[in-house]
Each structure stands twice: as structure tokens, then as C-alpha cells.
Amino acid sequence: MSSSTFEDSNKRLLRWKTRLPREENNMDRIQSLIFAVLLVLTAEGSVGASPSYDIREKTPEIQQAISSRQERFSSLKQKKSQGEIGENNQGYVEAFGGPESSSLADSENRDRSTLYRAIVDQNQLGSSGLSQVEAVFAEVQRDKASPGEKIQLPSGTWTQK
């Protein structure tokens, strides 16, 4: 994906506003939010339906996390396809390869943590928000994993998709 396509997707998504019924519960809010943020983070999908929340303020720290994730996307994808990195059940990646894979995983996890915390803080998701955001992101990443990539199931068991 080209840099301009990624940036255009980010801009479109961050302009995208949604109204949810007041009776919608916190988990629904978080799932809708994660959907919106995943579009930003992976620059996949098209803007047509209405997710609920977004990163309301793109601070320099958030912009850096998004940019860093974009820059490492192809390297991370390659390491996943080689079985050196997998998606765990907590919304982060784990390294199974050498130092290069570990360094890549550490950088990815640092940026994901920055974004998860921003989602929770900016959308006032409360004290349980972070663990819920992580769980929803883990589920989405498991679903998006390509065949042959390592994923950790909710039970804790590692498998190949």
C-alpha cells in the first residue's frame, strides 16, 4: 500500500463521525471503536458504514505511532509469514525468532500500547477500557491473520491459522 493511500485512508477515517444510540453498552462502543481504529492502523477497508469512535486528537505521539506502524508493516507481515512473529490473545505480537524479530515485536507493541491508551483516554472508556480494547483488537487480529500465521487462541493455545 502506498504512503499516500495510507494517509488518505487515515484522513478520511479521522473525519468520519458516528452517532450511537445512548443505550449501547461499553463493549459495543469499544468494538465499534476498534473497527474504526483498525482501519486507520492497517489502512484497509473503505469508508462507507459508520463506526462509532475514533482517535479524537492526533497528538505527536499518536502520529508517530501510526507512522512507525506504517513503516514496519511489510517487515512485520514478512516475519509473521515466516512464523517468527505471532498475534497473541492480548492484542500484541510475540516473537518466536531471533533478535531482529524481538526488536520488531517490541517496537510494534510499544506503538500499539500508545494507540490503545489513546483510544481509552480520548473516548473515556473507564478503568476496564484498556483490557477490553486489547481483547477486541486481539480478536480482530486473529480473524485477519493469513493462513499459516501464528495466533494465540483465547484459551492461551498457540496455533497456525
CA–CA distance, 15 with 141 (Å, rounded to integer): 24
Domain boundaries, the chain: 3-160
Query: What percentage of the chain has pLDDT greater than the value 90?
Result: 56
Task: Give per-residue pLDDT as tens, 15-51.
Answer: 433 333 333 455 555 555 665 565 545 443 333 333 3
* pTM (two decimals): 0.71
Q: Which three cell numbers stand for residue 152?
A: 494465540
Task: Tell me which residues of the chain have a pLDDT lower than 50.
Answer: 1-24, 40, 42-51
pLDDT at residue 63, rounded to an integer: 93
In degrees rounded to 5, what are phi and psi of residue 31?
A: -60, -40
State the sign of the Cα–Cα–Cα–Cα dihedral 49, 51, 57, 59: negative
pLDDT at residue 13, rounded to an integer: 39
CB crowding 9-42: b at 16 or more within 10 Å, else e: bbeebbebeeeeeeeeeeeebbbbbbbbbbbbbb
